[in-house]
Amino acid sequence: MNASRSAAIFAWMLLAPALIYVIAIVAYPLVDTIILSFTDTALKKTVNWVGWDNYVRIFKSGFDVIILRTVVWTFFSVSIKMIIGVLGATLLNAAVPGRAIFRVLTMPPWIVPMAIGIFMWGWMYNGQFGMISGLLQRFGLVDGPVAFLAYGSTAFWATIFTDVWIGVPLVTLYMLAAIQSIPKDLYEAAWVDGASRLYRLRRITLPLIAPSLITISMISLISTFNSFDIIWILTRGGPSGETTTMIIDTYKTAFGSYKYGEGSARVVLVAMCLSVFCFFYFRIVNKLAATQER
């Protein structure tokens, strides 16, 4: 009895640092934010409990459109990053001369400080001084300057493109590591059996990199969903709110208008959306693990 009790105490002692860390860094702020979301906390010194008012106000103010826009923005950005990342990793894994140089060349978007990279893109999208508009005019593809950040549709895609540019190197390197971990004898055996390149990709590469692909997708999805810097620096959510995502809207409410209570309600909704994604992620991961065990 005593031995099992001391074993339990020892186990708790081992767990304690991690538990304290999780409580201090995750649990306490989360609970506090949830409580705050049910109050009218703002600049004023008094705080009142307002029940579901903040949530009702959010959905009456067209937040559903912002949620949908965020999901679409995230979907396209993550999908493009994954496609380019997997293709890039496959190419970088190929035995071509100068492979090391190509690998290094994928890094700059990741190495350049993010804000500087975004400002650079801001200038490239500029209609008057920007390189893209200049090239389009030089090749006679457009009549005059095109300000890509001026219109909802082009600004939306411009922000996605910049996010893809920043995010691709991480995905590529992660997938390259996954591809390199596949035993070479599997490919040799398939080659001896006469399997084509496509067949090998479909039946060996993709199944074996699937766990890594799902993990990096999830990491990319969370960071893209919460991506703030790119949109804020390029468009501040404009024009006419066409690039306002959930995180931009949350920032504007909480720190622009100093409505901390309503801002917290938006944070809770962001967390809920990401929790749904995580739920599906873990289901897929568990399914994959079960399949591999069989």
Contact of 118 with 205, CB cutoff 8 Å: no
Here the tokens at position 263 are 């801002």
Q: How far is the CB of 236 from another protein (least distance, A)?
A: 4
* Residues paired with residue 39 on neighbouring β-strands, in sequence order: 49
Query: Which is closer to another protein, CB of 123 or CB of 280?
Result: 123
Q: How far is the CB of 146 from another protein (least distance, A)?
A: 7
Q: How far is the CB of 266 from another protein (least distance, A)?
A: 15
Query: Cα dist. 230→91, 166, 223, 278 in Å?
Result: 28, 9, 12, 24
What are the b/e assignments for 54-86, b being 16+ CB within 10 Å? bbeebeeeebeebbebbeebbebbbebbbebbb
Q: How far is the CB of 149 from another protein (least distance, A)?
A: 4
In one-letter notation, the amino acid at residue 81 is K
What residues contact 50, with CB distance under 8 A and at least 6 apart? 38, 39, 40, 261
Which of 34, 40, 42, 71 is close enough to bind another protein by CB under 8 A?
Answer: 42
Q: How far is the CB of 20 from another protein (least distance, A)?
A: 25
What are the b/e assignments for 265-277, b being 16+ CB within 10 Å? bbbbbbeebbeeb
Within positions 104 to 163, which residues make up the interface with another protein, using CB under 8 A?
125-129, 144-151, 155
- Coil, strand or helix: which one is 39? strand
Q: How far is the CB of 281 from another protein (least distance, A)?
A: 34
Site map 43..82 versus another protein, x via CB under 8 A: xxx-------------------------------------
Within positions 247 to 276, which residues make up the interface with another protein, using CB under 8 A?
252, 255-258
Query: Which is closer to another protein, CB of 151 or CB of 187?
Result: 151
Residue 127's CB is within 10 A of a number of other CB atoms, namely 17
Which of 109, 134, 211, 239 is close enough to bind another protein by CB under 8 A?
Answer: 239
* Chain contacts with another protein (rule: CB under 8 A): 42-45, 125-129, 144-151, 155, 235-241, 252, 255-258
